[in-house]
């Protein structure tokens, strides 16, 4: 009986969860084996995030207030945005490089494998160096939130915990949309970066500094202001500018769900349209 059950177990389809754990686990183990390179990459990412924040610090050292926010409040926005983007970039960052897979003809190889193509592409270059960005963003977010006078309640604690995850889901959807657009665009990565990395720049900056048309675009079209700026308004009980009231800080998760619906539809349409690179 035991011998008969073994082939049955082997023939069972592998669950999506197991595939995710297997693919991501293999990438993580391979990178962790090169410890010196791993540490150098993590420190490099941490340095990049720190230097980027210095730009805001220099501006605030001259004007005192940026978009109605003090340095500590801006640090909450920046830390939350960097944390959310770092998580999304680790798990979804390779999707916006789909055009390289199309031009090289490697996409056909991914299509014939019995694993969802989106999962394969997202795990192609899962880079642990992005932990540096995540770590700096998390430390800055928690420290700045504490110094800025955050008064926790059951609701605001829930928002403080879920906001980075909702922001990561939003950026993940943007990466997926950027990748799906490359089924139609030849050099789509550069165009897509305007929405992904450009959205990261907007997310880590107080939204009140942008002109009203740009603020509307990055709230209702590319919802970057809902990643960090709007949640910060809600967490610190600050008044919001036109189009971004404080209560919009709670819209991150619904916006992420809507963005993934759009991303899923575009991705499926792109895969159905794809006819091969001719290689």
| Cβ contact 202:224 at 8 Å | yes
| Cβ contact 46:132 at 8 Å | yes
* 89-123 tens-digit pLDDT: 888 877 877 777 777 777 777 777 666 777 777 76
pLDDT interval class at 1 (50, 70, 90): very low
Q: What is the pTM of this model?
A: 0.82
Question: Which of 95, 71, 85 has the alpha carbon at shortest distance from 132?
Answer: 85
Does the pLDDT at position 59 exceed 80? no
Alpha helices in 64-153 (DSSP H): 71-92, 98-104, 107-112, 117-122, 131-147
Poorest-pLDDT segment among 45-54, 166-175, 185-194:
185-194
* Average pLDDT score, the chain: 81
Which residues lie across from 69 on neighbouring strands?
A: 66
Question: Cα(186)–Cα(257) distance, rounded to whole angstroms?
Answer: 28
Q: Which residues contact 34 (CB under 8 A, 6 or more apart)?
A: none
What's the token pair of residue 166? 């909702």
Question: Cα(45)–Cα(129) distance, rounded to whole angstroms?
Answer: 7
Question: Cα(23)–Cα(26) distance, rounded to whole angstroms?
Answer: 5
| Cβ contact 79:160 at 8 Å | no
- At 33 the pLDDT is 67
What's the token pair of residue 121? 């592409």
The backbone torsions φ and ψ at residue 66, rounded to the nearest 5 degrees and listed phi first, read: -125, 115
* 128-185 tens-digit pLDDT: 667 878 888 999 999 999 999 898 899 999 999 999 999 999 999 998 988 888 888 7
- At 5 the pLDDT is 47
Q: Which residues contact 168 (CB under 8 A, 6 or more apart)?
A: 83, 84, 85, 87, 88, 91
Question: Cα(76)–Cα(65) distance, rounded to whole angstroms?
Answer: 14
Residues 26-58 as b or e (16 or more Cβ within 10 Å = b): ebeeebeeeeeebeebbeebbeebeebbeebee
């Amino acid at each position: 009986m035991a011998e008969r059950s073994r082939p049955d177990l082997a023939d069972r389809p592998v669950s999506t969860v197991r595939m995710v754990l297997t693919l991501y686990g293999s990438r993580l183990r391979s990178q962790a084996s090169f410890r010196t390179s791993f540490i150098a990459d993590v420190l490099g990412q941490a340095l990049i995030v720190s230097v980027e924040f210095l730009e805001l610090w220099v501006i605030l050292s001259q004007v005192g207030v940026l978009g109605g926010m003090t340095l500590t409040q801006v640090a909450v926005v920046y830390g939350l945005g960097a944390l959310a983007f770092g998580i999304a970039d680790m798990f979804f960052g390779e999707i916006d490089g789909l055009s390289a897979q199309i031009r090289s003809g490697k996409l056909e190889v991914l299509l014939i494998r019995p694993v969802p193509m989106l999962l394969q592409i997202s795990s192609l270059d899962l880079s642990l160096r992005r932990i540096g960005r995540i770590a700096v963003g998390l430390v800055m977010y928690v420290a700045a939130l504490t110094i800025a006078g955050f008064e926790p309640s059951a609701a605001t604690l829930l928002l403080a915990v879920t906001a980075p995850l909702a922001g990561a889901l939003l950026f993940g959807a943007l990466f997926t949309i950027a990748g799906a657009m490359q089924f139609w665009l030849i050099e789509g990565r550069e165009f897509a970066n305007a929405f992904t990395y450009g959205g990261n720049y907007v997310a880590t900056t107080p939204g009140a500094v942008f002109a009203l048309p740009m603020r509307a675009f990055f709230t209702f079209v590319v919802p970057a202001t809902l990643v960090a700026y709007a949640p910060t308004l809600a967490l610190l009980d600050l008044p919001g500018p036109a189009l971004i009231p404080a209560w919009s800080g709670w819209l991150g998760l619904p916006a992420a769900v809507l963005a993934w619906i759009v991303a899923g539809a575009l991705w499926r349409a792109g895969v159905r349209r794809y006819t091969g690179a001719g290689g």
